[in-house]
Structure 1
């Protein structure tokens, strides 16, 4: 590639992207003066490891980020990049389907809160790593774990978390059991109970208790939730708080035609008969 510098940028990018380009040529393109060309090599799923390795130390962030996203990147390359000085590169590693236990073990120890949060959202997270995240210093990380974990033991442990936002994370987790949801329905925070009724289906006994919840906001959330059974919504039509009652009467499911809900004239103007 002695004429590399004289060929056009477009031609060099095309060469980097061409499936027929030999590994030897790809390796030469790794030192191209244009980051666009180097990023094109870094993004190739079939790029050889010896071509990607020097790109993990590239001076341009977009090139390193392309390696971090490449599902064919070696574990050694990903381990190097998960500790990259640039947060966007680190976060790209977290999105790579090739991430394995060794990389996740580095993520759980990272100072980067967002990186730990991305780890908390990963499916099939190892129990020992989830156990570390249960005690994470960041409420945001614990909240993200609460909202995404499939581990019932983790869910049970997080029910005792003192931070409301963490329990709100549990309140939207579809993998909670009826027992977990019963505990959340009796949570001390109305924010948790309101989030729960908006997101998850509940047992009849819990719904009946929530119809008489002491928080107006919880009852309003119940009145307007898409998962609230119709008989519960009808019960809320006579709620002592008029805003709740109006929300229940005026609720319209997605796709339903809008209908007018008007209170009787006589109720609005006591002593006068409706015409």
Structure 2
């Protein structure tokens, strides 16, 4: 079913904007089965949205075919996992997503970031949020408008700028962040496969070791840059080259004779596909880990 429209009409049974609870008989398991059954009538789904069981309400919240009258009250459910399910639901209306992106619970807010129904208005609200992780998830979005991407290049958080630098497809943003004074941001640019050969040469000469090491692990370089980096003064950079999936075999062969035995040994022992590469991963989408109180999405707390 397509995206539901949240028209904001009061519920006809209760006279308010929440659905009146009309208990449905049977055990919680039976009601859950009903909530998950694709043939369950829409009016029954609306009734189940006020079920006493949070598991049942969550099942309704996750249904892409759930009617707007069912999803609307669930955006204010006292159980945060129910609200989180609504935040992920691609049929959730923009009005409800706007409410959820400002939710008091971080996992609910972060779930909105992964919802494909988000439009520019939701992304703009994310860009203005005080939640650094929410802005970071926005920075990794491929649908990010140029205006919002440009805004994030001045974000107060270096982490947000780094995540933008790593994932952006906007050449103007890459150019701006290449000149960022914070090394971790330039490290993000170094890992971005959409940099130009000229930009990669500039990064190969970056004064910060971590930037050069990230570069050789992530992207292919011109001969001149490889020739310079194979003799880099930093063991860390040469070790990164020795274990990089994208470095040509002839360069790795040269590193088997490196003056540092750790580098030489790593070059000799390297096996393609051994998991040494630090290629850019897909953007992190906020999924709550099973352990309570865990930290940011995709990271240990």
Could you tell me the TM-score, scaled by structure 1's length?
0.88
Determine the structure 1 residue equivalent to 2:223.
204
What is the rounded CA distance, in whole Å, between the counterparts of 1:3 and 1:94 in structure 2?
Answer: 33
Structure 1 gaps of 5+ residues are 256-275
Structure 2 gaps of 5+ residues are 1-19, 275-301
Counterpart of 1:54 (choices 73, 77, 93) is: 73
- Displacement of 1:2: 9.5
Considering Cα pairs closer than 8 Å and 6+ residues apart, tell me whether 1 or 2 has the greater RCO.
2
- Count of residues in Structure 1 that have an aligned counterpart in Structure 2: 255
CA contact (8 A) 2:23 2:47 kept: no
Determine the structure 1 residue equivalent to 2:206.
187
Determine the structure 2 residue equivalent to 1:115.
134
Deviation per residue, 1:202-229 (Å, 9 max, x gap): 0111001111211121112112212111
- Displacement of 1:83: 0.4
Deviation per residue, 1:136-182 (Å, 9 max, x gap): 11111111111111111111100111111111111111111212211
1:89-238 correspondence runs (5 A): 89-238=108-257
Larger radius of gyration between Structure 1 and Structure 2: 1
Structure having the higher helix fraction is 1
What is the rounded CA distance, in whole Å, between the counterparts of 1:37 and 1:86 in structure 2?
Answer: 21
Q: CA 1:3 to 1:245, structure 2 compared with 1: closer, same or farther past 3 Å?
A: closer
- Secondary structure of the structure 1 residue equivalent to 2:162: helix
Counterpart of 1:73 (choices 75, 84, 92) is: 92
What is the rounded CA distance, in whole Å, between the counterparts of 1:15 and 1:237 in structure 2?
Answer: 64
- Displacement of 1:40: 1.2
Root-mean-square deviation over aligned CA pairs = 1.7
Deviation per residue, 1:61-115 (Å, 9 max, x gap): 1111111111111111101100000011101111111111110000000011110
What is the rounded CA distance, in whole Å, between the counterparts of 1:159 and 1:175 in structure 2?
Answer: 12
Determine the structure 2 residue equivalent to 1:7.
26
What is the rounded CA distance, in whole Å, between the counterparts of 2:109 and 2:69 in structure 1?
Answer: 21
